[in-house]
Structure 1
Amino acid sequence: MRDAKSFQVFDLHHHVGSLDIVGGGASGGVTADAEQRIAFMDRYGIAQALLMPSNGYQAPNGIADTRRVNDSVAEYRDRWSDRFPAALATVSPLEGDAALDEIDRCIQVLGMKGIVWHHRFQGCAIDHPRMDALLERVRHHGVPAFIHIIGDSKLESPWKLEVLAERFRDVQFVALDAFSSPDFAHWMPHIARRHPNILFDTGVMVTVSHMIERFVREAGAHRLLLGTDFYSSPKLFSVPFPLLEILASDLTDTDCAEILGGNARRLLGLA
């Protein structure tokens, strides 16, 4: 198997905060969280990662809580910028016009590289009518829209992302968790052919019937991004399966270099 360290691996999918809506971050605070995260990265040869909020945060104060979460992710990025050179912000489609102002603040003041949504946590579907105004603002800033399409949520069904990609053809979308079921894995090459403005990440990639070589043959390595779906808590896995699978695959070294870092750095303006 190839050595990860020879590819300057960039992990596109790291959440800061708990997956559990009633939980917190890793015990011991942000320093302990960073130590745990960096140890995981070092163990598997991951050079850098993109940070994004966990959308399971509590929000009794609405947009004020979202601002707090975005600020904390930006601070995390800045404290360990050599390992986390970029971060994403989030807003809820249900936060009204305040979400538009928060997109402006996150891009212009916090220097975030894009906006991420996890609609099953945010209580609405990917194609909710409110997404139009939010994506108009994303388009204005020229940053990517990162949208989860986890396999067990009808709110995040891939066809709903296709609706947005068709409506906003000049917005760059990233489908997170795109290979999170065998059915999705067979579906993704077809979506890629129909929608050139969607890229696909490997978060929650299943261990069987993930069809990664087929996707590259049919859609190209330039459409694929390594993501592991690391959360502060709880621990979801011990081994970053997508990384090891790509390193052990029949893909060429050139394709691996694109998937394991080149594509993500170009997308985020870090190349």
Structure 2
Amino acid sequence: MRSHDQFDVVDIHHHVGRLDAVARASGGGSAPSLEDDIAARLRYMDDHHIAEAVIMPANGYPAPNGLEDTKRVNDFVARYRDRHPDRFTAALGTVSPLEGDGALDEIDRCLTELGMKAIVWHHRFQGTVLDHPMMDAFLDRLKQHGVPAFVHIIADSTLESPWRLEILADRHPDLTFVALDGFSSPDQAHWMTYLASKHPNIIFDTGVMISVAHLVESFVARIGAHRLLLGTDFYSFPKLFNHPFPIYELLSSSLTDEECAAILGGNARALFAGSQPNKGTSHA
């Protein structure tokens, strides 16, 4: 197996905050303090030689006050990033399709005032389908800012089925989509290569990549290493796994060193280097 030392690893899939739905189902418990959460994340990163992490909200947060709660979540993610900007080198904000036109202003605030690099959705926790009609207005706003859209397509959610992402990718061919959790079942892993071949504006991460039939080498052979990003789907609470499988699978794979270097960090740096918010954009 190749050594971690050969690569400067960027993990683009870290959630910040408590995943309430899973925490309740698994018996709850007390969420760590901010300092303890940061310490656990940095320990995980150091243990697995992850140089940088891209952080995003933990979806499923209580939102009795609607958009105001989402704003507080985005503020928290930005504060978290600012505690260790050398390790948490990019942050993503979120809005809900149910928050309507007011969420467009929150997208602007995330990308300009808070300095976030993109907007992320996890529709199964936000209670809507991936191709919700409001998504068109949101995605048009991202295009004005010149940033990508991050969306989850985890295999156990019909709200996030990949065919819904295909609809959005067709409707917005000039926007880059980052599909998270696409290799989260054997059946869906087969689907990703086909989806990638038909939709050049979608790139993929390795989050929730399962240990069998994920076909990552086949994907790279047919589509190219440039369409794949390392993501581990890390939550500090509740703890979801002990071993970031995708890192070690890539290190042990038959991919070339150049392909591994691209997936493990190079592609992420290129993506965000080309995704600087346009602070001068007018939305009148």
- Structure 2: distance between partners of 1:71 and 1:247: 36
Residues of 2 paired with 1:27 and 1:130: CA distance? 33
The alignment-based identity, stated in percent, is 64
Structure 2 match to 1:194: 198
Which whole-Å CA distance do the structure 2 matches of 1:72 and 1:262 have between them? 28
Instruction: Quote the residue 1:7 is aligned against.
Output: 7
**Inter-partner Cα distance in structure 2 for 1:30 and 1:270:** 31
In the superposition, the TM-score normalised over structure 2's length comes to 0.93
Tell which deviates more after alignment, 12-21 or 197-206. Answer: 12-21
Say whether 1:17 aligns with 2:17: yes
Q: Using the TM superposition, give the Cα deviation of residue 233 of structure 1 relative to its aligned residue in structure 2, in angstroms.
A: 1.1
Corresponding residue of 1:58? 62
Contact 2:181-2:209 at 8 Å conserved across structures: yes
Determine helix, strand or coil for the equivalent of 1:55: coil
Deviations 1:176-201 (A, max 9, x none): 00100001110111111100000000
State the shift of 1:269 in Å: 1.2
Moved more, 145-154 or 228-237: 228-237
Gaps of 5+ in 1: none
- In structure 1, which of residues 84, 88, 107 is the aligned counterpart of residue 88 of structure 2? 84
TM-superposed CA distance for 1:97, in Å, is: 0.9
- Summarize the alignment of residues 227-238 of structure 1 with structure 2, pairs less than 5 Å apart: 227-238=231-242
Superposed counterparts of 1:122-271, under 5 Å: 122-269=126-273
Counterpart CA distance in 2 for 1:170 and 1:18 is 34
CA separation in 2, counterparts of 1:102 and 1:18?
A: 22
- CA distance 1:122–1:163, shift in 2 (3 Å): same
CA distance in 2, matches of 1:57, 1:28: 16
- Paired amino acid for 1:20: D
1:96 maps to 100
* Contact in 1 for aligned 2:18/2:31 (Cα 8 Å): no
Distance 2:216 2:57 in 1: 27
CA distance in 2, matches of 1:169, 1:176: 18
Is the CA contact (8 Å cut-off) linking 1:47 and 1:83 kept in structure 2? yes
CA RMSD of aligned residues (A): 1.5
Flag as ranges the 4+ runs of structure 1 deviating above 4 A: 22-26
Task: Say which SS state the counterpart of residue 58 (structure 1) adopts.
Answer: coil
Checking the alignment, whether the CA contact within 8 Å between 1:125 and 1:155 is kept in structure 2 is: yes
SS of the equivalent of 1:151 reads: coil
Cα deviation, residue 19, structure 1: 1.8
Unaligned runs of 5+ in 2: 276-284
Which whole-Å CA distance do the structure 2 matches of 1:198 and 1:26 have between them? 37
Tell me whether 16-25 or 146-155 shows the greater mean CA deviation.
Answer: 16-25
CA drift at 1:4? 1.6
Give, in whole Å, the separation in 2 of the partners of 1:8 and 1:217.
Answer: 23
Instruction: Write the distance in 2 (CA, Å) between the matches of 1:182 and 1:2.
Output: 25
Instruction: Please tell me the residue identity of whatever aligns with 2:19.
Output: L
Secondary structure at the aligned position of 2:18 is classed as: coil
Paired residues of 2:118 and 2:147 also in contact (CA < 8 A): yes
